[in-house]
Structure 1
């Protein structure tokens, strides 16, 4: 293995540099397990810039839930299907995406993901003409297909593109870019989708059918504006990734016992791994928590203070993303100083306390408690992902294992629907946040189990 050069495009062996192709001078060297001796900084930074792109799409869903509720006259339960369509796309495509990555490369997965993401955003334009809720859900599903490729590639790649001992920290740092996308998406939604003046409910109240139809058509056209900007950014990012060379970061061994594993063998191995299954469930609950909490933050503010409109209430969602970023930054620092499992236990316990306040205190201060709960989610996804991926000792199963972890994102399709149903049945948006307490409890217990196991191993 050449210590000074890493090539991305390979003709025969995806793990061995081919000096006939363009090379990047880099001191990193790929090891047999796929990790590198050193992280290539430019490639890592460009890879991390992909992370805000799914954050922007996800936060726009939180905006669309509020917008669609009044445009299409939906219940809280029905609005949550925005998230079901979105995260359902992740679930369906994750394993096919992993097989493509396995056959070709992580870079190929990034390029495919960015391309389909662009096409999905473009579908919003005919959807606005059709003006039906189901067509918008189909457009969100298409966006999610692209994001499934993108996230399946980027999450696993970020943990692999450097030394194994810093895999969790490296993924946490990449994930720190995600709140930038959350914030940017919500900011675009606030100013390009929502309007000043009365709330949408008040604007539509009392209008005759013709006037109401005209207003809803105008509001639907406003939903297109953020996606115009996103498409421009995606095209630039696609070109940059396309012209940048990347290391394979895949196992190099080609012995008989390490021949490429079939899908059936891979799934049997993964499902037989108890620690892997526990990580999948924890990730399911984490994504459900994150998605449900943010989906209904704006609705919570509007419910608790009737003087707010959608644009003003979006400020709370923006603060939630700021808190998420700060909480993640603090967690990254704490993980370098203390046991990462203990950090997540503390975060989960504080998150439960914050959400208990949301459930039992019926005034606007409860929204700020929801913002605090958002800040305490920060390190969850990346840490669960990296820890679960690390339970795969046979690295032949890494790509598909990463995809199965991404499939746990289906929690984002399930938990918000349950929260919306609780809100409709009880008539209390505040009480519906009790489902998020359960999610935090599961996450805390998961890390408590890991903490106890690691203490026993060290004893």
Structure 2
């Protein structure tokens, strides 16, 4: 029996009101990819020691993960166009579950490449989810509250991220000295056995994720969802026509570039937070992971505060303030050679709070409604920045040191600040033109 909704759809695809059960269920998907993403930060630390990797090589975990987003986002948007948001979400949940199961043969084969393949498979499922759910969450209600809805949904993300870190802390990381210190005292034979044992620990979080995914998939299957697709009397646009249109939309392209830099920065900071704590403090991996938990807690708080501020001030002013403070905090992280730099990295996470959702909806609102599905997919493709920026930061860390590598993130936050300053200027100009036109009409 389907759990139904009682809403009416407007011509532009938005609804006359938000169906709260369906919206909450959609929002509960955000923790699912938050958990997967934060587990990558655990794996980077674990794999760096087990497979004796450089900072650059260990960052390839993120390249495999977010590279999957880039490749699958457009196919996912085509699934939305041909079927529905709900069907695309179900496909994503199923593929995500399959990706989690691939960790079991990967642990048996015990090769870094096979683990990257499993991570890539998870990313394919998550690309289906993010391509559909980000746009769907913004549209499942009144048009005027689309940014607020997505920011509320995004607030659930750090809950899953913290859960992922806790799973990694207690199921993957172990008590005692750090892995590098333990392995330094072992013979070659002991080392081989120890590494295999440590790889087996990586399976445990994914076992629990599989159970949760099966339950959520069943719940979505029995729930009725509104279509939220714009009504049109014209023929459906094909993918090439849509891409040609988007390529001429200057504000859309600026939003894509900004999202690329923002996501790359966010993932890079979180990827190296545990490494930074290990380098600046006498800690093991389990203790160092606490600082990533604090980062996600700060991220949650930052989102919550931003949601309140955006209801009182323009979202551009709020994001400019966040970005400037973020630039200052990253400067501190890069230059202060003591453990306070780790705490300032946590402050940076607080300032990430509203960025993704606000850039997403601001960019999506610059396109005509008939192009929404594909435009949303292209914005999700910008997540590929997370496949590039952490790898670049890893290279810089190998050459110049881990702390100085955070200057890469400082550059990224500067791009975000510039984008919102430009958007504020454009909207002020549009508002002035609207007032002039109204006055001319009245006269």
Name the counterpart of 1:372. 347
Q: CA deviation at 1:206?
A: 2.7
Alignment of 1:115-264 (within 5 A): 115-253=94-232, 255=233, 258-264=234-240
Q: 2:290 aligns with which of 311, 315, 319?
A: 315
Q: Distance in 1 between matches of 2:3 and 2:106?
A: 44
Q: Distance in 1 between matches of 2:91 and 2:259?
A: 25
Q: 2:306 aligns with which of 321, 331, 342?
A: 331
Name the counterpart of 2:409. 436
Name the counterpart of 1:5. none
Q: CA deviation at 1:396?
A: 1.7
Superimposed CA distance per residue, residues 343-385 of structure 1 (whole angstroms, 9 cap, x where no aligned partner): 0000000001111111110000000000000110010000000
Name the counterpart of 1:356. 331
Q: CA deviation at 1:23?
A: 8.0
Ranges in structure 1 where 5+ consecutive residues have no aligned partner: 1-20
Superimposed CA distance per residue, residues 129-173 of structure 1 (whole angstroms, 9 cap, x where no aligned partner): 000000000000000000000111100000111110000000000
Name the counterpart of 2:244. 268
Superimposed CA distance per residue, residues 297-332 of structure 1 (whole angstroms, 9 cap, x where no aligned partner): 000011111x20000000100000000000000000
Name the counterpart of 1:422. 396
Q: Distance in 2 between matches of 1:365 and 1:25?
A: 50
Q: CA deviation at 1:453?
A: 1.2
Q: Distance in 2 between matches of 1:43 and 1:231?
A: 22
1:48 aligns with 2:24: no
Check the 8 A contact 2:301/2:350 in 1, yes or no: yes
Classify the secondary structure of the residue corresponding to 1:406. helix
Bigger drift between 274-283 and 448-457 goes to 448-457
1:382 aligns with 2:357: yes
Classify the secondary structure of the residue corresponding to 2:211. helix
Classify the secondary structure of the residue corresponding to 1:24. coil
Check the 8 A contact 2:2/2:222 in 1, yes or no: no
Q: 1:299 aligns with which of 264, 275, 282?
A: 275
Name the counterpart of 2:59. 80
Q: CA deviation at 1:455?
A: 1.6
Q: Distance in 1 between matches of 2:120 and 2:418?
A: 32
Q: CA deviation at 1:452?
A: 1.0
Indicate how the Cα distance of structure 1 residues 431 and 108 shifts in structure 2: closer, same or farther if over 3 A, else same: same
1:277 aligns with 2:248: no
Q: Distance in 2 between matches of 1:217 and 1:435?
A: 35
Q: Distance in 2 between matches of 1:141 and 1:396?
A: 31
CA RMSD across the alignment: 1.0
Q: Distance in 1 between matches of 2:337 and 2:80?
A: 48
Superimposed CA distance per residue, residues 32-71 of structure 1 (whole angstroms, 9 cap, x where no aligned partner): 1100010000000001100110000000000000000010
Q: Distance in 2 between matches of 1:213 and 1:311?
A: 22
Q: Distance in 1 between matches of 2:49 and 2:118?
A: 19
Indicate how the Cα distance of structure 1 residues 100 and 429 shifts in structure 2: closer, same or farther if over 3 A, else same: same
Q: CA deviation at 1:398?
A: 0.7
Q: CA deviation at 1:456?
A: 1.9
Normalised by the length of structure 2, the TM-score is 0.96
State the number of aligned residues. Answer: 432
Q: Distance in 2 between matches of 1:232 and 1:260?
A: 39
Q: CA deviation at 1:24?
A: 2.8
Q: Distance in 2 between matches of 1:366 and 1:22?
A: 51
1:30 aligns with 2:9: yes
User: Runs of 4+ in structure 1 displaced over 3 angstroms?
Assistant: none
Indicate how the Cα distance of structure 1 residues 22 and 374 shifts in structure 2: closer, same or farther if over 3 A, else same: closer
Q: Which has the higher helix share?
A: 2
